[in-house]
Structure 1
């Protein structure tokens, strides 16, 4: 008798034993020869008899899938399906376990081809098998089979979710795995596999929804599987690696440092327990690489990153396509971290190549959004070095695709929204496309995924800080900026001190503090910003990609402090930082234009302080390079043009070069042509252009130029809100223009208007812009004195002195006090002359004594504060010499001669804002 019920001859029994032993050897060691031998033996066994034997066919199918796993030949999978179909067809009625085998084979075929109909067929086949089962059947074998069917259905549904993103498929997968675990007998050998698969589904559910309870349940499930596994079991390494992976995920989403340490330890144990010939050894290497990369991100140990890259590369070199694709994301992330650390451009190019290769893999490998996000970030870094516009467009496209493929509630979505916002802002900086700016703003708005995690939610404190950088572009002074400072401070406090993320956190917090100082004048914020940027630079690899940006930010901090305190050492250090930043930046890099503009501003400030012609020439050269290098439509191009024009006006004032003045007018016209009427830059640029026309009038004596200057500046004043900080400056300048026109025409209307504008500039500036309040008082008083309008001169000087009295009560910086003291001396003398001319000797004496009192009080303040310190540290003789100098100064004040006429030509240029590209 032949067929399934026929007894096997003795040699067949030996073959079966040998085939079983070969499969067991492969499972334990990954021996490729054993996998090959098992297939050959089961083929020989199935060749016996006239009718197929279901059990033998099934074993042949299993052996073929083993060999496919070992060698990757798709023909083995196709043959296995034929064998499983034959085994199922040989049974009457159909056997449920053969349906299970057939469905599993379809799932493997799907993994090779990506054909969704195979996955759908596998799912429906498993459901059909489950529908034929009695869930309450007493037979333990039936219970075991039902658990197997449920587990395989869960795997199939999870794969379908990976492909279509249907959350219902994932939820059903979790429930199927849970049911399999709940029904399985404690002694069922497959129970540990069910636990493992349930853990994987729960982790996917967390990734999809951010449900922390799913992550915690996955940890418990994996731990139970490990606790139930024999120490010498070949399955132990894989289960250790699974728990390592889920602990890493939990740490990434806000778990404690113990999760990270445990993850690294488990991954190391998994790799140590895997024999060199194990089929899963590469997976253990990949898991350890992931854990080491994460630990580097949190603690900054270079050895961790170096070993992670080595492990990733070894796994990526394997000939197993699925493993290569899965490893690509981790390898690219580690290479990008290496580039950010030391500027290794070879690592950046390798990261781009690895991601492109992974995304070209067919069928899809399940981590496309992560690969697209990394590819977009890497390509964007390349653009910042080369300035290649096509690379910028490509980066935006990749990051947009990554965000689109990320579910709305996925934990990774907020970070990817921030990455895309940064790329859009870079493109807006380059081309000025309004749609890019609007979309970036929308991505960072309150109703979009958060720029920074709020409260103590699952988002980690050190991930995706590009979003915070982008958020600084939109942070308005006041409560919004205060909140950003508080949140960044909290993140910094929660971040391990050695973590690479500390550097961008320090930078972002420092910038936020400087912005807040600009609005409030709080010097503590500015001092803190300087200290934070110094710390960030100390942590940065010299010459790395972060260095130029940090040098630039520190330079801007120091320039702001110089503007307040007037200490030349701050200006010199700022220039040194900017020169170094420019030297470290490739010529084609887009950020170079902003660096050159900032360098020009610093050089122009130094020229104003020293009147050094060489410094002014250097400022002009820097501004020209910024203008010539930037795209003509870039949003910051008007700023560059305005600053170049201002430096050209300075050059004219120094050399009387009329050609420089004419070129400046052309630059202002180009800048205004690029600005919309409602641009915040437009009023300043138009006002500076009016000043340029005024200077040309003084050279050419063409009254038409003066008329154009008056008309242009009057338009700026009419359009400017009454609360604008710069309004007193424009009022003063327009008053000077009308004053000069009155001198030409004698029109009393111009005189009346100029007087009213001077008066308003004095009053408005007292609260918002003290410099221009005092300057307006000086100009008004000088003009009134020249016309014999002594009452107006006395009024102007009185308003200026009243403002200065307020200044001395609140102004503590050395450089500003010295400037105000000089103005106080001029104004008090002018007021005395005006009152004397009016016959009011008492008022004249009071005016003189007011100025003298200001000088004397400052001398006494210096005497009191400095001398006590000198004496305490043993410099008594120096202190006495200082007191003698103060006595001479006090005496000199009483004998001071009249300082001469008041007023002079108006100061009409307001410095263009710093470039804000980050």
Structure 2
């Protein structure tokens, strides 16, 4: 695409130079082509290195120069500045590409004082748009990096160093180069030193530096970074009270509190954010963000202390702010979404379905500020997430269909916002994958792959979100392979999964999940490879899956899925090599997965069933009986009444019929005769109770006595509604 856009823009420039037809460079279509070229031409497709090619800068420089000559006034001046910015990058490496009439101007600019150069870097930084404009950002970094250390005035030097910090951190967030993050932090420290030297308050610089240190801590888990962030945050809030700095310190305390399981840090963070929310006026746009931070921190404190009042207070705080803002307040949509988020936190931690239903209702009814497509997209994305959560609980396809429609709406509402659009495309891919797996629709799975590929294409190859989109792509492609058997898809899934892991630093909280994706693809791929190559991939799969399980807490819900796949891979190697150590490791992995108390019931059931089925291979009948016993206990939860009728029927028909007889057989082999009978009775009780609850079709009865049929339906619904009540 970059080559096509370059050629199109060059043709416009040449036509304007030959004919003087200003429409060639002033038309909206021409501007759109230039913006798209700057966005898409930031990566070398062969190496993935993020850099703008000289040919692109040359064409863009001429384009803006032509626009400058074609119009007067502020618009022409702005284009002249953009042309100079492009050619300035080319002046040293490729002076032959710089027009003669601009070389003298650029050479003079190169001789400017450090203060003038620093101001130019600040100007470029302010002109950055949302489309990852690499050449402007690189030029700003270059100017500030050159000027800032040599500015003699301490105040001006501190301002330029702080601007360099912001520019480097922006480049890290866009393109993911860790050296930029590290340099940004060092520049931030230098900015603080310069401000102190000038006798100036350094609160803003301290606060910015604390934010960047907290970000690096979240990526690396380096406790020194978060301790320094808290220390700097405390310095920033000393003296004059600033609610922004107070909120920043609260978030640093939260990060440290979560890392160290420190109740005192979380208590302090909650109190700070309560004060910040209470003191923030309803006209202040920061109110929504601070309220959202309060909700998140109170949820974190619940995770540590399990006090339900934390979740209730988060919901109450959002409701009180909503009442304070009033029905026509411009920030009302954001406050409602935050209330929806607080209800979501309460549902995720307590399973309270009323909270989930209320969250969905609030999200659906929240008004959207006219003309704010980003706001509409955010609301639709939140609705997508909530509806998918309810689908996972009830398995009602209506919820999933509506979630996908909301995700499609979020994508449509962000046509020109590359980063946001990529995130929404990834979420759409998840919904389509879920529906494809539920219904067996290859069309849905193919659409999921298309959406995931589009998300990857929109993000810079080294961007911080790129690894997540790659991992999502790996899952989507793998599941399409599972339904079609196309070997090329398996290769694509492996490539995406490997790149995702390579781009995710050690210590990153998302790394275990990405290792899981890679391990599953390796495990499944080994079976379609020649024996020697397949053996190596299965061995690697086991190492990767073990690493994924080792890098999360033993009670983390996601660990159960990692352990199940590790067990399956170890059992596969046992079948291949006959090493009883692999069989024993498989049994232990499945039993550990079944013991993860917060895991999804379906995953715990599958783990315990695999435990029961694997143990008899090595004649461990007692272990098999234990596994089947857990499976039977979990079956009742799995087929509980919160599932739709179709969901319960699917569970019982697929797994419920044979599990009791398998458990009874294993118990007999283990000499546990009483348990054998108990298992059969337990299985029969599950089936009978579910049969009674599922009820029957009353259509035929209605033909004979419609009143009686209606009464039967009402009574059955009333009985069903009592499920779960104390």
What TM-score, normalized by structure 2, do the two folds share?
0.58
Q: Does 1:530 align with 2:365?
A: no
Counterparts of 1:425 and 1:488 in 2: how far apart (Å)?
A: 32
Q: Which of 207, 211, 214 in structure 2 is aligned with 1:439? A: 211
Cα drift, residue 651 of structure 1: 1.9
**What is the RMSD of the two structures over their aligned residues, measured on CA atoms?**
4.3
Counterparts of 1:617 and 1:660 in 2: how far apart (Å)?
A: 11
Counterparts of 2:315 and 2:698 in 1: how far apart (Å)?
A: 36
Residues 379, 394 of structure 1: 8 Å contact kept: no
Give the number of the structure whose alpha-carbon radius of gyration is greater.
1
Residues 627, 637 of structure 1: 8 Å contact kept: yes
Residues 360, 383 of structure 2: 8 Å contact kept: yes
The residue that corresponds to 1:752 in the other structure is: 584
Cα drift, residue 395 of structure 1: 13
Counterparts of 1:533 and 1:423 in 2: how far apart (Å)?
A: 35
Counterparts of 1:715 and 1:840 in 2: how far apart (Å)?
A: 37
Q: Which of 612, 628, 647 in structure 2 is aligned with 1:797? A: 628
Report SS of the residue matched to 2:366.
Answer: helix
Residues 556, 598 of structure 2: 8 Å contact kept: no
The residue that corresponds to 2:281 in the other structure is: 459
Cα drift, residue 459 of structure 1: 3.2
The residue that corresponds to 2:607 in the other structure is: 776
Provide closer, same or farther for how the CA distance between residues 593 and 475 of structure 1 changes in structure 2, counting only shifts above 3 A: farther
Provide closer, same or farther for how the CA distance between residues 883 and 588 of structure 1 changes in structure 2, counting only shifts above 3 A: closer
Residues 393, 643 of structure 2: 8 Å contact kept: no
Alignment of 1:351-500 (within 5 A): 383-384=129-130, 386=131, 388=133, 430-432=174-176, 434=181, 439=211, 443=245, 444-446=247-249, 454=276, 457=279, 459-460=281-282, 463-465=285-287, 467-468=289-290, 471=293, 475=297, 477-479=299-301, 482=311, 484-500=314-330
Cα drift, residue 610 of structure 1: 1.0
Provide closer, same or farther for how the CA distance between residues 716 and 580 of structure 1 changes in structure 2, counting only shifts above 3 A: closer
Counterparts of 1:424 and 1:511 in 2: how far apart (Å)?
A: 32
Provide closer, same or farther for how the CA distance between residues 457 and 694 of structure 1 changes in structure 2, counting only shifts above 3 A: closer
Alignment of 1:79-94 (within 5 A): none
The residue that corresponds to 2:512 in the other structure is: 683
The residue that corresponds to 2:565 in the other structure is: 733
Residues 288, 338 of structure 2: 8 Å contact kept: no
Report SS of the residue matched to 1:677.
Answer: coil
Report SS of the residue matched to 1:594.
Answer: helix
Report SS of the residue matched to 2:356.
Answer: helix
Residues 766, 803 of structure 1: 8 Å contact kept: no
Q: Which of 655, 660, 667 in structure 2 is aligned with 1:823? A: 655
The residue that corresponds to 2:439 in the other structure is: 610
Q: Which of 474, 494, 503 in structure 2 is aligned with 1:645? A: 474
Counterparts of 1:514 and 1:881 in 2: how far apart (Å)?
A: 32
Output one character per residue of 1:323-345: Cα deviation in whole Å (capped at 9) or x when no partner: xxxxxxxxxxxxxxxxxxxxxxx
Report SS of the residue matched to 1:590.
Answer: helix
Residues 574, 582 of structure 2: 8 Å contact kept: yes
Cα drift, residue 619 of structure 1: 0.4
Cα drift, residue 864 of structure 1: 11
The residue that corresponds to 2:401 in the other structure is: 572
Residues 462, 495 of structure 1: 8 Å contact kept: no
Cα drift, residue 788 of structure 1: 5.3
Provide closer, same or farther for how the CA distance between residues 879 and 609 of structure 1 changes in structure 2, counting only shifts above 3 A: farther
Residues 623, 640 of structure 1: 8 Å contact kept: yes
Provide closer, same or farther for how the CA distance between residues 454 and 438 of structure 1 changes in structure 2, counting only shifts above 3 A: closer
Counterparts of 1:618 and 1:389 in 2: how far apart (Å)?
A: 31
Cα drift, residue 620 of structure 1: 0.4
Q: Does 1:519 align with 2:358?
A: no
The residue that corresponds to 2:499 in the other structure is: 670
Counterparts of 2:397 and 2:521 in 1: how far apart (Å)?
A: 29
Counterparts of 2:500 and 2:167 in 1: how far apart (Å)?
A: 25
Q: 740-749 or 458-467: which moved more?
A: 458-467
Cα drift, residue 388 of structure 1: 4.3
Residues 451, 467 of structure 1: 8 Å contact kept: no
Report SS of the residue matched to 1:632.
Answer: coil
The residue that corresponds to 1:594 in the other structure is: 423
Provide closer, same or farther for how the CA distance between residues 557 and 478 of structure 1 changes in structure 2, counting only shifts above 3 A: same
Q: Provide structure 2 residue ranges, at least 5 long, that are not aligned to the other structure.
A: 1-73, 79-121, 142-164, 186-207, 215-232, 234-244, 252-268, 303-309, 717-726
Cα drift, residue 806 of structure 1: 5.7
Q: Provide structure 1 residue ranges, at least 5 long, that are not aligned to the other structure.
A: 1-348, 354-374, 397-420, 885-918
Counterparts of 2:438 and 2:173 in 1: how far apart (Å)?
A: 32
Cα drift, residue 828 of structure 1: 0.8
